[in-house]
Amino acid sequence: MKYLSEYRDQKLAEEFIKEIHRITTKPWTLMEICGGQTHSLVKNGILEMLPEKISMVHGPGCPVCVTSLSIIDEAIYLAQQPNVIFCSFGDMLRVPGSTKNLLELKAEGADVRILYSPLEAVTIAKENLEKEIIFFAVGFETTAPANALSVIHADKLKINNYSILASHVLVPPAMEAILSDDENKIDAFLAAGHVCTIMGMEEYFPVAKKYKTPIVVTGFEPVDLLQGILMAVQQLEKGEYKVENQYARYVQREGNKIAKETINKVFDVSDRIWRGIGSIPHSGYEVNDRYKKFNARLKFKINLPVAEENKECISGDIMKGLKKPKQCKNFGTKCKPEHPLGAPMVSSEGSCAAYYHYSNAENVLA
Amino acid sequence: MCLAIPGKIISIIERPDETFRLGKVSFGGIIKEVNLCMVPEAKIDDYVLVHVGVAISIVDEEEAKITFDYLKQMNEIEEIKNN
Ligand code: SF4
């Protein structure tokens, strides 16, 4: 497929690997932000091909993994209400809540549906006026425009039986939270290309400067990741800390203006609790006042106690780059994709599941 | 969930309302309806990056080529420096 297969070209990948080996003289720790990148790095065996001096740690970039237990509980509460069709992206269904997950609830007879796009939920609402349709609006900045658009659509069509459970998380505040942790050892970041497609690069300039840390906006295919790593190592070896753009075929410095306007029309920035990390100020989106009738939290007057995270799961340390999945004593024993203890084992973009599924990761971890 | 993949626009359905600009996009032969309102300049035959049913960016062909020539360019720069 055009603009996809070329970036999986083995020969080109090998050339990048050679170049990375050639220029690396010191040990460096790089963090890729996005779970899609973690998945690609592990699946394609890239971690094994890098010089020993380069250590990749896997960031908090999987919305499935960072959605807090309390929000999963809210989703389960909503899906249990009479007359509700609860719609979600597929990967949220197996995330454990305090008592059960959405998949179990579906098996018990709740109307829980897996959708590809929030826009489909609006269509379902239009066709089922006697029911309440709720969409589980999770995701990073990348997904926010589509979720916002669903609300704008519903409003224009005067659809009153549609609402969203907004659970958005934002990348730059999480990066700052990680960098300001005293134990942090990260020398450079690969920023998530798709988030930047929407938001652009402006937010990263102050971060790179303040923490003297190179940030390279990077894509998801093997060649993208290798080029991103090479650009980051080049900077590190020269002592630079710039914001660079490897993913320029999609990312413009200012991002997608219309997408940003769409987000701002519907959402306000809010504090957000990240699973395993805790509350990060200004790191989420919540439905604003203008569209409050589409806010499922208000519409269904949710008022649940804050849920306690499972203490046996060290996903917080993993997402901050302090530990690797195999350093968790439950990895592959008490915690497996079939019965995950924590969210990083649920989603294929979660680092624990990525390491579990691809055996070639074993060597890297040893 | 965060996956976004490139596809080629094969038709555009204009609607009176700008939030309803839709198109058919081919992903290696699989055709899906995609919302195009965030990429108003996108035309038929353009490649767009699509995420959860919404096109979020048009591919910049010039930039795409640069990745493939990146190493070559770097080597040339090194050579210039060394000469
Ligand atoms: S292996 Fe399971 S318990 Fe351990 S950190 Fe990963 S998700 Fe949590």
Residue-wise pLDDT for A94-141, tens only, equals 888 888 999 999 999 999 999 999 999 999 999 999 999 999 999 999
Contacts of A151 (CB under 8 A, 6+ apart): A162, A164, A266, A287, A291, A294
Q: Are the Cβ atoms of A262 and B38 closer than 8 angstroms?
A: yes
Flag whether residue B48 sits within 8 Å of chain A, measured between CB atoms.
no
State the Cα–Cα distance between residues A107 and A272, nearest whole angstrom. 30
Cβ proximity of A125 and A86 under 8 Å: no
Upper half-sphere CA count for residue A366 (Cβ side, 13 Å) = 6
The minimum CA-CA distance between A30 and chain B, rounded to whole Å, is 21
Pairing state between β A84-88 and A54-61 = unpaired
Atom nearest to A351 CA in ligand 1: 6
B2/chain A closest Cα distance in angstroms: 7
Report the interhelical angle of A222-238 vs B61-82 (nearest 10°): 40
Best residue among A62, A69, A328, A338 to mutate for probing ligand 1's pocket (most ligand atoms within 8 Å of CB) is A328
Give the residue with greater pLDDT, B72 vs A48.
A48
Residues of CATH 3.40.50.11740 domain(s) within chain A?
Answer: 1-312
Q: What is the pLDDT of residue B1?
A: 60
State how far the Cα of A65 lies from the Cα of B77, in Å rounded to an integer.
Answer: 43
Does residue B11 belong to the interface with chain A, where contact is any CB pair within 8 Å?
no
State the CATH number of the domain containing residue B15. 2.30.30.140
| Helix and strand counts by DSSP (H, E) for chain B | 1, 5
Q: How confident is the model at residue A362 (pLDDT cuts 50, 70, 90)?
A: very low
Task: Determine which residue's CA is closest to atom 7 belonging to ligand 1.
Answer: A342
Q: For residues A93-110, b (16+ Cβ closer than 10 Å) or e, as one string?
A: bbbbbeeebbebbbeeeb
Average of pLDDT values for A343-356?
84
Q: Which residues form the domain of B48? A: 5-82
The per-residue pLDDT for B77 is: 60
Q: Kindly report the nearest CA distance between residue A74 and chain B, in angstroms.
A: 20
According to the model, what pLDDT value does residue A147 have? 97
Helical spans, DSSP H, in chain A: 10-23, 35-43, 46-49, 63-66, 69-79, 102-107, 118-127, 144-156, 171-179, 193-199, 204-210, 222-238, 257-266, 296-299, 315-319, 351-357, 361-365
In sequence order, the 6+-apart residues with CB closer than 8 A to the CB of A11 are none
Beta partners for B34?
B23
Q: Tell me: pLDDT of A88 over 90.
A: yes
pLDDT, position A315: 87
Burial of A306 (0-12, 13-18, 19+ CB in 10 A): exposed
Number of domains forming the structure of chain B: 1
What is the spatial distance between Cα A148 and Cα A261, in angstroms, rounded to a whole number? 10
The CA distance from B57 to B38, in Å, is 8
**Phi and psi dihedrals of A61, rounded to 5?**
-85, 45
DSSP structural state of residue A69: H
- Assess whether pLDDT exceeds 90 at residue A80: yes
Confidence of residue B18 (pLDDT cuts 50, 70, 90): low
Task: Compute chain A's Rg from CA coordinates.
Answer: 20
Block residue for tokens 């493939």: B68
Contact of B51 with chain A, judged by CB distance below 8 Å, is answered with yes
- Rounded average pLDDT over B13-17: 72
Residues of B in contact with A16 (CB under 8 A): 71
Distance of CA A45 to CAs A21, A284, A360, A365, Å? 16, 33, 7, 12
Please check the confidence at residue B33 and state whether its pLDDT lies above 70.
yes
What does the pLDDT look like over A209-262, one tens digit per residue? 999 999 999 999 999 999 999 999 999 999 999 999 999 999 999 999 999 999
What lies within 8 Å, CB to CB, of B80 at 6+ separation is none
Asked whether A224 and A213 are in contact (CB, 8 A), the reply is no
Could you tell me the two tokens for A128? 């089922």
Residues of A in contact with B19 (CB under 8 A): 149, 152-153, 156
The answer to whether B24 faces chain A, any CB pair under 8 Å, is: no
- Please answer whether residues A277 and A60 qualify as being in contact, where contact means their C-beta atoms are separated by less than 8 angstroms: yes
Tokens representing residue A337 in the block: 């994709």
**Alpha carbon of A23: minimum distance to chain B alpha carbons (Å):** 12
Chains A & B: contacts with CB separation below 8 Å: 119
Query: How far apart are alpha carbons A143 and A153 in whole angstroms?
Result: 16
Arithmetic mean of pLDDT, A359-365: 47
Cα-based angle B62, B67, B72 (whole degrees, multiple of 5): 110
Residue with CA at minimum distance from ligand 1 atom 1: A331
What does the mean pLDDT of chain A come to?
91
- For the segment B34-77, what is each residue's pLDDT rounded down to a tens digit? 999 999 999 999 999 999 999 999 998 888 877 777 777 766 66
Of B4 and A22, the one with more pLDDT: A22
Separation between Cα atoms, residue B22 and residue B79, nearest integer Å? 49
Report whether A246 contacts A218 (CB < 8 A). Answer: yes
**A162 vs B15, higher pLDDT:** A162
Q: What residues flank ligand 1, with Cβ below 6 Å?
A: A 312-315, 318, 325, 328, 330-331, 335, 340-342, 344-345, 352
B77 has a chain A CB within 8 A of its CB: no
A125-134: buried (b, 16+ CB within 10 Å) or exposed (e) per residue? beeeeeebbb
Do A34 and B52 make contact, defined as CB atoms within 8 angstroms?
no
Position B80 pLDDT exceeds 70: no
The whole-number average pLDDT for the span A306-331 is: 86
Partners of A271 in beta bridges? none
Q: What's the average model confidence in pLDDT over A20-24?
A: 95
Predicted structure pTM score = 0.89
Mean pLDDT of all residues in A192-219:
96
CATH of domain A1-312: 3.40.50.11740
- Mean pLDDT, residues A13-34 taken together: 94
* Residue A291 CB neighbour total at 10 angstroms: 19
- Say what the pLDDT of residue A208 is: 96
